[in-house]
Amino acid sequence: MLDFQRYQLAFTAHIRNPKLHAKPANVVEKRMSVYRESVFNNIFESVSVCFPVCQNVLGKRKWRHLIRNFVANYSAISPFFREIPQQFLAFLENITDLPSYLKPLAHYEWIELAISSQQTRPLSTQQTLNTQLNCMDDVITLAPASALLAYDYPVHKISKRFKPAAIEKTYLLVFRNTSFEVKFIVLNPVTFNLLSLTQSQPLTGRLALTTLANELQHPDLDLFMRFGAEILHDLCKQQAITLSQNTLDINIPQ
Amino acid sequence: MASLADIKGVGLGLKRELIPQIQNLYIEASQQDLSIHDSLIANINFVEIAPENWINAGGKAEADLAWFVERYPIVCHGLCLSLGGPDPLNKHFLKQVKQFLSVNKIPLYTEHLSYCTDNYQGKTGYLYDLLPIPFTEEAVKYVAQRIRQTQDILGQHIAVENASFYAAAPISTMDEITFLKAVLQEADCWLHLDINNIYVNSVNFAHKQDPIKLAQDFLRKIPAERIIYSHIAGHYQQSPTLLIDTHGKDVIDPVWDLLDTAYQLFGTFPTLLERDNNIPPLPALMREVNKIAAYQAHYQNNLAAPQDSTLATC
């Protein structure tokens, strides 16, 4: 290693953790503090803006301490500022003294950013967002930028006043509409299963519903299909799912 | 395809807040059947973006970028290449930059003469800030080699910016201008001249000398033939002897004077207004953009130095 690099590494080691690493000899303290504060504040801002609820739930002091720890001990590998929160999420994985709902909450807060910047291909000509196609007879796929998520806690309800004590399975669909807004829909377990089915293979609405009704051994198939069709229609109207023509003649129900 | 020759006149740093304001002006102009060249933003010839904020940005950002690519020549001004960093250059990232420049028809990529990564606990770590490179012979050779490597990978020349800094490295064996000139020479790259940074560094390291004289002296030693592009910006005065390069305030008079001197010494060159914090509405920014244009017009028309009174009304 070259001399000037030894100096540079002493400089950054001190910025990361001033308590553990002294500043390089003969650097003016007042000037060194400009860098300490600038690096920490940049990262603090980039992380905090993505996780307002985590910050609120933990309280200012613990939150600051957590980000100090992140700056001191985590090697961020992405040159993209947008990916600082994702790297913070990875850092949280190895933190043990957090409330059990905090990591799911952090993921839930991060996913909004992830979906807003998710790269997508333009919809194919056979795929359409309008509702002229029939959600029972056409193939259903989730919106191009979307995530179907299952959490152990009701992450969307957590606040300073509501910190969940017990596990409560929570299902969410997060998607970006054509106006680039990120929307969240809370799903019941049946709708979650329905959408999960359409993710694993191309299915028409009718076949997805029939398959699910069979799995659930639902006593009233007609009623189940009617409700299911309403749900799919509604999801389609919100642009949470897209339809494409069933050109492959797949899924003809028996 | 925008070429380097299209980066001319005055530019504005493209911030997300400004995008709807600019787009609305286009809508208004078209409704009134007017050209954008007759609007408030007539003097914006090009815009600048940080590739780190726009590569793979998806969604709205992708659509906005496409809108600007259609209408403006663009400069990429990088933040995280870490030309002075101790770890190997991030070649994967550089290839993404290359692709991004090509897809979006961006003719110029510039970076800072600084570093933003370390090698912490055996791993590359980004610190997302502009950290100072000590001014030593070794550092000149090292940084110049990395600039050449960058130019090889991109297949084009880059420009490096004279960075602002706050802490002098006690191990430095030369002053900033000597370091800068040596790097430019050794790397055979262009200079992205930051006018405000000259002033900020002159105040920060004046040691009781006159910072304006120091800044003027620095400017006079710049190798004119390497200047391809420049920045002007405001800064924050933390104390009379410490300026922080925040790009969060209006440009101050001594910095305008430096721009004036630079045009006088070297002729005009494309100049961009940077504003990254406390961003005022577009009409306020345009007063500064127009002021740059007025300085350029004076020197391009071979007239005497502009009077303050004429510039104040631009």
Q: What is the pLDDT, as a whole number, of residue B41? A: 97
Question: Chain B contact for A226, CB < 8 A?
Answer: no
- Structurally, chain B folds into a number of domains equal to 1
For chain A, domain boundaries: 3-98, 127-244
Least trusted range by pLDDT, from A110-124, A237-251, B20-34, B46-60? A237-251
SS3 content of chain B, % helix, strand, coil (to 5): 45, 20, 35
At A121, the pLDDT band (50, 70, 90 cuts) reads confident
> How confident is the model at residue B309, as a pLDDT?
39
E-only strand ranges, chain B: 10-13, 46-49, 74-77, 108-112, 115-120, 123-131, 159-161, 190-194, 227-233, 236-239, 242-244, 271-274
Mean pLDDT of A158-183: 96
Are B120 and A32 in contact (CB < 8 Å)?
no
Write out chain A residues lying below 8 Å of B59, CB-based: 116-118, 120, 145, 176, 180
CA A49 – CA A51 distance, rounded (Å): 6
Q: Which of B253, B257, B292 is nearest to B274 (CA)?
A: B292
The CATH number for B81's domain is 3.20.20.150
Residues 137-196 of B with CB under 8 A from A: 138-139, 142, 166-171
Average pLDDT in the A239-245 region?
A: 90
Which of A118-122, A241-245, B171-175 holds the top average pLDDT?
A: B171-175
Q: Which two tokens stand for residue A15?
A: 């910025």
ipTM score of the complex?
A: 0.93
Report how far residue B48's alpha carbon sits from residue B46's, in angstroms, rounded to the nearest whole number. Answer: 7
CA distance A200 to chain B (A): 25
Is the CB of residue A12 less than 8 Å away from at least one CB of chain B? yes
CA distance B177 to B158: 19
Cβ distance A120 to B58 less than 8 Å, yes or no, reads: yes
Asked if the Cβ–Cβ distance from B61 to A4 is below 8 Å, we say no
Is the pLDDT at A126 greater than 60, yes or no?
no
Which residue in the set B55, B119, B171 is minimally distant from A9, CB to CB?
B119
Res B312: pLDDT: 39
Q: For A143-164, what is the mean pLDDT?
A: 97
Show residues of chain A in contact with B90, CB under 8 Å: 79
The answer to whether the Cβ–Cβ distance between B170 and A11 falls below 8 Å is no
% pLDDT > 70, chain A: 93
CATH 3.90.930.50 fits A127-244, yes or no: yes
CB-based contacts of B35, cutoff 8 Å, min separation 6: B29
Q: Which domain holds residue B193?
A: 4-312
The pLDDT score that the predictor gives to residue A134 is 86
Chain B contact probe: residue of A12, A29, A33, A82 with most B CBs at under 10 A: A12
Average confidence (pLDDT) over A95-121: 96
Tokens of A191: 């709708």
- State the average pLDDT for chain A: 93
Residue entry with tokens 């408030």: B40
Q: Of A126, A149, A251, give the one whose Cα is nearest residue A201.
A: A251
Q: What is the CA radius of gyration of chain B?
A: 19
Q: Per-residue pLDDT for chain B (314 aa), expressed as one digit of tens each?
A: 689 999 999 999 999 999 999 999 999 999 999 999 999 999 999 999 999 999 999 999 999 999 999 999 999 999 999 999 999 999 999 999 999 999 999 999 999 999 999 987 777 899 999 999 999 999 999 999 999 999 999 999 999 999 999 999 999 999 999 999 999 999 999 999 999 999 999 999 999 999 999 999 999 999 999 999 999 999 999 999 999 999 999 999 999 999 999 999 999 999 999 999 999 999 999 999 999 999 999 998 754 444 443 443 33
Q: What is the DSSP letter of B280?
A: P
Give percent above pLDDT 90 in chain A. Answer: 87
What confidence tens digit (pLDDT) does each residue in A139-148 have?
999 999 999 9
The CATH number of A3-98, from 1.10.287, 3.30.70, 1.10.150, 3.40.50, is 1.10.150
Both tokens of B49, joined, read 């973006």
User: Which pLDDT score, from 0 to 100, does residue A38 have?
Assistant: 98
Euclidean distance between the first and the last CA atom of chain A, given in angstroms as a whole number:
71
The shortest CB-CB distance from B124 to any of A42, A75, A116 is to: A75
